[in-house]
């Protein structure tokens, strides 16, 4: 296993977060920090591996991936996780989906907001260069 000399492992913090979710002390966690402080690296290199070791299926979603419809990023992340990691699992699930619509509603400081995305089946009525979503 290749060790990243620039990564500061925070395994204890990852385990503490998982335990707090398992005991019911919290139903969600939020990480706040200025840009480029290691939040994503912590999630990808510490929290997700710890979650998988504890039997969870972890999903990572970058909402900045698609700024116009961030909910679509969530749909893609869920579909990717659902499909499995092996090439054979992904091939078996190609074109299959049970997720048609995703809505995210949130409230922060008294302000309510939400986003939604809908996955539409591809049509073969005419050739196109990109898939319709």
Q: How many domains does the chain have?
A: 2
Q: Span 110-126, mean pLDDT?
A: 63
42 and 82: one domain?
A: no
23 and 66: one domain?
A: no
pTM for this predicted structure: 0.58
The tokens of 116 are what? 């939604």
Domain presence at residue 127: no
Query: 59-91: per-residue pLDDT in tens?
Result: 888 888 888 888 888 888 888 877 765 655 555
* Position 57 confidence tier, pLDDT thresholds 50, 70, 90: confident
66 and 36: one domain?
A: no
The tokens of 30 are what? 């939020």
Domain presence at residue 133: no
72 and 115: one domain?
A: yes
The per-residue b/e assignment along 69-84, b for 16 or more CB within 10 angstroms, e otherwise, is: ebbbbbbbbebeebbe
- Domain of 72 in residue numbering reads as 61-120
């Amino acid at each position: 296993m290749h060790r990243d000399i620039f990564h500061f492992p925070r395994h204890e913090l990852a385990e503490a977060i998982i335990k707090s979710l398992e005991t019911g002390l919290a139903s969600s966690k939020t990480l706040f920090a200025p840009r480029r402080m290691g939040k994503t690296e912590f999630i990808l290199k510490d929290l997700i591996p710890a979650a998988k070791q504890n039997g969870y299926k972890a999903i990572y979603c970058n909402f900045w991936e698609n700024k116009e419809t961030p909910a679509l990023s969530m749909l893609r992340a869920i579909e990717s996780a659902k499909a499995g990691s092996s090439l054979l699992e992904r091939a078996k699930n190609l074109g299959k989906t049970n997720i048609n619509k995703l809505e995210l509603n949130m409230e922060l400081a008294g302000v309510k907001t939400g986003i939604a995305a809908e996955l539409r089946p591809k049509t073969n009525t005419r050739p196109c260069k990109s898939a319709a979503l």
